[in-house]
Every structure is written in C-alpha cells, then in structure tokens.
Amino acid sequence: VVLSGEGADELFAGYSDYCRIPFDLHKARALRYLPAPLRRLLAGGMAQRYGGRLAFDGELDHFLAGYNWFSPEERLDLLTPDARRAVRSGGDEAFAAIFQQTEGLSYYDRVLHALEQTHLHNLLAPCHQRLP
C-alpha cells in the first residue's frame, strides 16, 4: 500500500459502493415497515442498485445483489457456451465460503473480509517473472 497504493481500498474500506452495502441492508430492513409511497420516497436509488429488490434472504444474498454488476443469469449470458458450462457450478460459492468463515462477525466486517479475500488477492498477486 505504501509503495503503490494497491490494496489501500480493501484494507481501509475505500470502496464506497461496496462499503455502503451493510448500511443499505439495515435501511432496507427498516423500509419494509413503511407504507409503499413513503418506502419508495425514502429508498432513493437502493432498489435500482439492488436490481429492483428491497428484500433479501440474509447477508450473503444482499451482498451478492450489491456486489455484482449483473444478475447470475446476465453473467452467464455474457459467456460462450463452453465457458458457461465451466462456471455454472462455480458461481458464487466462493463468496458463500468466505461468508461462512466470518460467521458471528458484523456484516460490515464480513463485507470487508470478502473484499480483502477477493480484490486484494487479485491486485497483489506475486509477479512470476524475473526482472533483467
């Protein structure tokens, strides 16, 4: 982080879109008790950010709705048939495993851990080439 800045967002919660996810879940849970017109007014862009949804089957479901740019079906549509067959079973199980490792932590900490385990590893992958 000191030398290149790589990894700072993951370590210091700099991804505002992703770090907002836990707060959005609390807001969505509170909104469901309000009358529909007031709920639409206070929801702002939340429904759009989460694919039109304001109800979720737990933290992992909510995280995946906010983290992914595309729905699982849209992601598969972007792939060739061979690639689709290869990843159809892989899907979001990696995130489920990460969330399972952090059972008992706050949702915010679980999101940060998931970002650290995914983004950070990809950014800071070791270089396998030797410099001349």
3-state secondary structure of 84: helix
- Cα separation, 99 vs 50, in Å, equals 19
The residue behind tokens 């807001």 is 27
Convert the pLDDT of each residue in 20-39 to its tens digit. 888 889 888 888 888 988 88
pLDDT band at 9 (very low <50, low <70, confident <90, very high): low
Asked if residue 28 lies in contact with residue 59, where contact means CB atoms within 8 angstroms, the answer is: no
- Cα separation, 25 vs 18, in Å, equals 12
Prediction pTM value: 0.69
What's at 14, amino acid-wise? Answer: G
* List of residues 6+ apart from 88 with CB closer than 8 A: 76
Note the pLDDT of residue 129. 46
- Cα separation, 124 vs 58, in Å, equals 30
Closest CA to 123 of 14, 43, 40, 46: 14
Q: Quick one: 90 exposed, middle or buried, by C-beta within 10 A (0-12, 13-18, 19+)? A: exposed
Convert the pLDDT of each residue in 79-127 to its tens digit. 888 888 777 655 577 888 999 999 999 998 998 888 888 776 666 655 5
